[in-house]
Amino acid sequence: MLKQRVITAVVMLLVLLPTVFAHVAWPFALLTLAMVTVAGWEWGRLNGAGSTTSLAMGAVVGALCAAALWAGWVGVGASPAWWLACGVWVLGGAMALKVGPAAWPALPKAARWVLGVAMLFTAWLALASAKVVGLNYLLSVFCLVWMADISAYFGGRTFGRRKLAPTISPGKSWEGVWSGMLGVMMLAVVWILADKTWPLGSPSVFTLLWQRFEALGLMLALVFLCAMSVLGDLVESLVKRAAGAKDSSQLLPGHGGVLDRVDALLPVFPIAMALSSL
């Protein structure tokens, strides 16, 4: 299993990294468009859609993203989309966690499908726009999510006592959440100093938030973004548990599906774009 995970991870990096470091934005936009199209199919399968309807959901997500790319929405700012995503994640995510895995399937299928399409579309629009903002910005948001996840994992294993959401994700603890936030704070300090010492052509999300809100505002914004990364993970875990599925699909050997790899990124990118636009 470990060998399979490593091989899949290496292949994914070989595909992803050239688009991330490309001087133009469209290769990354097209690759991530393909990814959210697959994620739309996975969301349909997890939410009671048949095979045809699930494929149609993926096609709808892909078509919306392609239309936005053709219309020139990527990189324009699209602040209403960011704030819409922020509201949907805060309110919709809280509602999902409140009803829990048992009650999730009782919600209207159409509502769950529309929620998934909106969630994936706004996440893709933010991802593609972050690439236009600059490589430094894009990488800093990725690393924020990864640092929150890694720090939470090790902090939870070392200090974890109080379960965060035992009916949804038994492995997560409040101590892990605080560890993740502390790790991101440390990363922010290092990245801001690096931005001052070695300017990379575009500011990182940490530098932008620090310039807009100063130290206290930066800390509050990072706490919020870390909380949203945890929420994204929990919502996907809730949906999988409600569907009785271990993974969103088996498309990525050893890793599950696309949703399993990007769940924490889905709320963070549009909310980071929203906060950066203030």
Secondary structure (DSSP) of 198-257: S--SS--HHHHHHHHHHHHHHHHHHHHHHHHHHHHHHHHHHHHHHHT-SSS-SSBTTTB-
Indicate if the alpha-carbon torsion angle 91, 143, 29, 10 is positive or negative: negative
Residue pLDDT, tens place only, 8-40: 777 888 888 889 888 889 999 999 999 999 999
Domain count of the fold of the chain: 1
* Distance between start and end Cα atoms, the chain: 45
Give me the mean pLDDT over the 170-178 stretch. Answer: 89
Full domain range(s) for residue 189: 2-276
- pTM of structure: 0.93
Give CA 33 to chain center in angstroms.
Answer: 14
Q: Which two tokens stand for residue 175?
A: 């101590």
- Residue 6 pLDDT more than 70? no
Residue pLDDT, tens place only, 182-227: 999 999 999 999 998 887 778 999 999 999 999 999 999 999 999 9
